[in-house]
């Protein structure tokens, strides 16, 4: 029996709570909640109602004994939600690597190459007669063309971010030696940049980009909004709402707009994003929340993930929840450690499947932040070898791969 996407059940709008999740490819690591969030009785009842079912050992053995080459994540989850992966353009250009990507994933995110640092042309911007920023589109066009040819949908990542955005963008004449521009000028530059990126993708390669991370990592690591961002310093906190206003203005009606951040399971971040997203939702300018989901062995807590999913789902009927940068740091690839990692991935996907199929949350995509353990940002970030993904450094499926397939198979068997 196939699954049909169910409309999300609104849970008590009084669930305004705090926030958490993990950093964008080159940013911070997943944070651990420092205090126990307050949850309403209704939320607790819902959590109990959707507790993941226990899978029979026979089903586990059946999955583990199968050949991964005959299996596909995107096929296993096609009636549930899309499965994506973060890659770089060279991986799309390599036919063997591309075959691995298209086998398991229906969507992808550029790990770095759609960030402002890569798309802005400094010299051309300085010479622009209208004073607006200018794009360099050669690499962008190459990526969009490869995605189109491969039948892959792409998540646009990211339009507005404090990191990997050149400081000269905020300076008079785009000159690093000059003062910052005023608020009105920066708003015009922001709108121009967002318009150019979105319209280029839509006009040159219509239908390829299915969603945008409009604003990335705008919350503080402590409380409230991030105030060290130049977007915040030059424009003020309204830069977030303005970015979504401009993105909605130029994006095709079927393109989804997201806010994205790490640490989305901490009580403070949950609270910050619940309030912020509700405001932007009421303005009609946002479709969902991206929970980056950079976890590690020590802080993985599926109960906190569940609490955040319920809190965000309670913002409005139909709001989308996506896990946008999923990985799970382990510095040990022993058999016991990889079995434990698989069990944790299984718990997570059991949760996602259950809340989605029972209509308690609208899960629409889960994207893994890397194709295999050989190509993970975590090894550099952690300064130790990391084994966080579903394939090992040689491209062999790990126990976590089979555990995630098992979660989908178990859900089908329960129908």
Of 205, 289, 280, 209, which is closest to residue 248 (Cα–Cα)?
Answer: 280
- Given the DSSP bridges, would you call strands 288-291 and 320-329 parallel, antiparallel or unpaired? parallel
Mode of pairing for the β-strands spanning 82-87 and 362-368? parallel
DSSP bridge partners of 87: 110
Catalytic residue among 30, 111, 191, 217: 217
Looking up tokens 């507790």, which residue turns up?
51
Residue 60 among the catalytic residues: no
What distance lies between CA 86 and its chain's CA centroid? 10
Active-site option among 191, 320, 325, 409: 325
Of 389, 401, 371, 395, nearest in space to 329 by CA: 389
237 is catalytic: no
Catalytic residues: 217, 325
């Amino acid at each position: 029996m196939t699954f049909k996407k169910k409309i999300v059940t609104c849970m008590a709008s009084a669930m305004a709570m705090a926030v958490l999740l993990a950093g964008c490819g080159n940013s911070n690591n997943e944070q651990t909640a420092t205090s126990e969030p307050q949850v309403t009785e209704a939320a607790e009842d819902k959590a109990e109602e959707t507790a993941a079912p226990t899978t029979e050992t026979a089903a586990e053995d059946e999955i583990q004994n199968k050949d991964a080459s005959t299996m596909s994540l995107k096929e296993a989850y096609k009636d549930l939600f899309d499965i994506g992966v973060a890659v770089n353009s060279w991986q799309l250009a390599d036919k063997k690597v591309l075959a691995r990507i298209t086998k398991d994933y229906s969507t992808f995110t550029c790990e770095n190459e759609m960030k402002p640092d890569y798309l802005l042309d400094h010299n051309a911007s300085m010479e622009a007669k209208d004073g607006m920023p200018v794009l360099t589109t050669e690499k962008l066009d190459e990526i969009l063309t490869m995605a189109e040819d491969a039948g892959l949908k792409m998540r646009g990542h990211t339009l507005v971010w404090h990191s990997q955005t050149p400081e000269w963008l905020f300076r008079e004449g785009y000159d690093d030696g000059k003062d910052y521009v005023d608020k009105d000028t920066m708003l015009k530059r922001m709108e121009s940049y967002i318009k150019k990126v979105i319209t280029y993708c839509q006009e040159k390669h219509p239908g390829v980009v299915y969603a945008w991370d409009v604003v990335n990592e705008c919350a503080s690591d402590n409380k409230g909004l991030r105030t060290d961002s130049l977007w915040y310093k030059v424009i003020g906190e309204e830069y977030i709402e303005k970015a979504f206003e401009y993105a909605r203005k130029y994006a095709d009606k079927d393109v989804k707009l997201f806010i994205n951040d790490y640490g989305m399971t901490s009580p403070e971040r949950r609270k910050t994003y619940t309030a912020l997203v509700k405001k932007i939702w009421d303005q009609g300018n946002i479709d969902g929340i991206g929970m980056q989901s950079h976890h590690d062995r020590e802080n993985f807590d599926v109960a906190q993930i569940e609490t955040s999913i319920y809190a965000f789902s309670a913002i409005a009927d139909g709001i989308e929840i996506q896990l946008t940068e999923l990985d799970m740091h382990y510095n040990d690839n022993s058999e016991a450690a990889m079995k434990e990692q698989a069990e944790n991935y299984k718990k997570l996907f059991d949760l996602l499947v259950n809340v989605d199929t029972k209509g308690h949350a609208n899960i629409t995509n889960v994207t893994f932040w890397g194709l295999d353990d050989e190509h993970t940002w975590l090894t550099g970030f952690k300064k130790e070898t990391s084994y966080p993904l579903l394939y090992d450094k040689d491209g062999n499926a790990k126990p976590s791969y089979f555990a995630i397939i098992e979660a989908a198979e178990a859900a089908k068997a329960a129908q």
